[in-house]
Amino acid sequence: MSRQDGSARQVTRGDVDDTGASILHIDMDAFFASVELLDHPELRGKPVIIGNPEGRSVVTSATYEARRFGVTAAMPVSKAIRLCPQATILPPHHQRYTEYSRQVMAIFRDATPLVEPLSIDEAFLDVSGARRLIGSPAVVGQHIRERVHRETGLTCSVGAAATKFVAKVASGRAKPDGLLVIPPAETLAFLHPLPIRALWGVGAKTEESLQRLGLSTVGDVADTPLATLTRAVGEATGVKLHELSHGRDARRIVTATSEKSIGHEVTFDVDVTDPARVRLELLRLADQVAVRLRKSGASARTVAIKVRFEDFTTVTRSRTFAEPTNVGRRLFEGANELLTVLGIDGRAIRLIGVRAEQLTDEQDAVAALWDPDEEWREAETTIDSLRARFGGQAVRRASLLGRKGNDTAGGTRAPAP
């Protein structure tokens, strides 16, 4: 099986020395689409798109057969149909996804109490203590895969390695429905041939900067002097790429969750149907939540949204970040992704809210191996200082200008309970 970057699927077959490869990353395969196919077995092996074909809906998920045509999540369904006109369109059922997620996470926790969910369909596990009960990391990974399939009918891919970063890369290489173990001694041999996009946090802009240096693989990055990297992409990014390219990642599994949360929500005076207007309010709320997080010295591992429609139906969605954050831009990006998958286009909205959950000490975010918020953190903390000196309205995002005070959408705004 080939990928868009031309690389082949990798799986572990037979015995392997998995000593020290006790961090698992488990990712459900095309989770939403796979849940829908449980009720439509006749569509297995065919291109299927999960979404609503009417209006301006977006793709919630797609089978791998549809993805080969370029269909991706959050893409407008109309575009997905143009890319893959032979695909079958099925409506999403989010309650079922939540139910299956609970089942899968329970299976993970039966193997080890050290489970760190990243989202509804993926998690990190530390299985170092499961050797006596189940077996070595490879055995545990295979045991979980078999149980998930036997009890739910779904498949998952597992990466096993000595670090979170390498385990996550490995699970992606094993997709779909595979297990890939990377022995610690083979970490660099596994990582170095991979394209630079395999490095966590390398997006289009950073990739372009690295390519200007003539770098195309992870090994190229590892062979580049740290001073050269930092000049090209900045000190923080240069250091994290240097560490990752050498397979170094000191993060441990985080299982503790806090019940504390910080949230803001707004009830509109008149129901809003304009998605752009809703997203503008989402941005404002995310900024307000971030300010309160920074004032309290906290960061959030999870962002959640709350949407109440004109008929008073209320829906909540959440996602967990790879690293905790107290940056408004990151909270907004996460909240906006949730809103996009929810598919609000054309629906009248009465209330919208943003909540930061699973709070942790701010230093946990700053001390992380990489800081995905670095481009925005300095700007937002500078704005905090200016607001403290000159008042709350002294500095505002350009996208929020042109509306008086806080009255973005003519609504009542308050901290969420």
Domain spans of the chain, in order of start = 1-184, 192-245, 262-415
| pLDDT (0 to 100) of residue 394 | 46
Q: Which CATH superfamily is domain 262-415 in?
A: DNA polymerase, Y-family, little finger domain (3.30.1490.100)
3-state secondary structure (DSSP) of residue 136 = coil
| pLDDT (0 to 100) of residue 375 | 59
| Strands (DSSP E) found in 34-74 | 48-50, 61-62
Q: Known catalytic residue: 122? A: yes
Q: CATH for 1-184?
A: 3.30.70.270
Query: What sign does the dihedral 228-233-239-241 (CA atoms) show?
Result: negative
| pLDDT (0 to 100) of residue 161 | 97
Global pTM reads: 0.68
Question: Residues at the annotated binding site for Mg(2+)?
Answer: 27, 121
Residuewise pLDDT in 10s, the chain (417 residues)? 545 444 678 999 888 889 999 999 999 999 999 999 999 999 999 999 999 877 667 798 999 999 999 999 888 888 999 999 999 999 999 889 989 999 999 999 999 999 998 888 999 999 999 988 899 999 999 999 999 999 999 999 999 999 999 999 999 999 999 999 999 999 999 999 999 999 987 888 889 999 999 999 999 999 999 999 999 988 888 999 999 999 999 888 988 654 468 999 998 888 999 989 999 999 999 999 998 888 888 889 899 999 998 888 888 999 888 788 899 999 999 999 999 888 887 789 999 999 999 888 755 444 454 555 655 655 556 655 555 555 555 445 555 444 433 333 445 454 554
Same fold, 1-184 and 262-415: no
Q: Which of 36, 65, 122, 357 is catalytic?
A: 122
Nearest to 354 by CA among 301, 285, 414, 300: 285
Token digits for 403? 């509306």
Q: Are 317 and 338 in contact (CB under 8 A)?
A: yes
| pLDDT (0 to 100) of residue 396 | 53
Residue with tokens 């095309």: 30
Token digits for 416? 């969420």
Residue 313 burial (CB count, 10 A): 10
Rounded Cα gap, residues 270 and 172, in angstroms: 45
Q: Tell me how far the alpha carbon of residue 58 is from its chain's centroid.
A: 18
3-state secondary structure (DSSP) of residue 174 = helix
Q: Are strands 122-126 and 23-28 parallel, antiparallel or unpaired?
A: antiparallel
* DSSP bridge partners of 181: 160
Q: 192-245 is classed in which CATH architecture?
A: Orthogonal Bundle (1.10)
Question: Residues at the annotated binding site?
Answer: 27, 121
